[in-house]
Amino acid sequence: MKFFIALMVMGILTENFVLTKILGICPFLGVSKKLETAMGMSAAVIFVMLLSTAATYPINTLLVRVDMEYLQTVVFILIIAALVQLVEVILKRYMKPLYNSLGIYLPLITTNCIVLGVAIINVDSGYKFAQAMVRSLGGGLGFMLAMVMFAGVRGRMEAGDIPKSLQGLPITLIAASIVSLSFLGFAGIAEGMGLL
């Protein structure tokens, strides 16, 4: 049980994909202007991460068994692309406003390195199926935490008086780096709690 808690803590805080591993920056910067779209994108990413982990785990086992693990990345990308298409169809059909607000960033989940990264990290770390699912959920919740935090920061920035030379992307990147630095304070928390 301690190991599952450690995997969750790692995914959310100490090894946050966006803020410590710098993966998934495109949706992080592009969709974090409003809390609603940040939450919608996060939910879609969590859903795709869990489904892709559930789908890639047995397929990877098969690839290893037939000595074709060199095809992992290609197969993982194909699986993720199919799952993103499924999410896109569901959102377009049942959640049209969210689908419209996510715009081009929804299909970009296919190439979102977080989704591919979690599948590859799970394989490389040798996690069993349940551990891989917990790690994926933790990584997805960490993505959501980063998105929600940064949506709040960006909301505050819009109300501030920013010098003209820093407006737009420069102040966004500065704010993102400061938020990222705040997560360094969590380094070692899993080991310090005796979870690993």
Give per-residue pLDDT as tens, 110-169: 667 788 888 898 999 889 999 999 999 999 999 999 889 888 888 888 877 888 888 888
Residue of 34, 17, 53 whose CA lies nearest to 153: 34
- What is the number of other CB atoms lying within 10 angstroms of the CB of residue 100? 11
- Single-letter amino acid code for the residue at 170: P
**Tokens 């397929």 sit at which residue?**
59
Residue of 22, 46, 15 whose CA lies nearest to 190: 15
pLDDT mean over 22-26:
81
Does the pLDDT of residue 194 top 70, yes or no?
A: no
Q: How far apart are CA 11 and CA 4, in angstroms?
A: 11
pLDDT at 141: 94
What does the mean pLDDT of the chain come to?
84
* CA–CA–CA angle 153, 159, 164 (5° rounding): 100
Q: How far apart are CA 53 and CA 51, in angstroms?
A: 5
List, in order, residues 6 or more apart from 188 with CB less than 8 Å away: 14
pLDDT at 190: 58
Q: How far apart are CA 67 and CA 70, in angstroms?
A: 8
Q: CA end-to-end span of the chain, whole Å?
A: 11
Asked whether the whole model's pTM tops 0.85, one would answer: no
In this structure, what is the dihedral angle of CA atoms 54, 148, 112, 190, given to the nearest 10 degrees? -60
Q: How far apart are CA 143 and CA 135, in angstroms?
A: 12
Query: In 3-state terms, what secondary structure has residue 144?
Result: helix
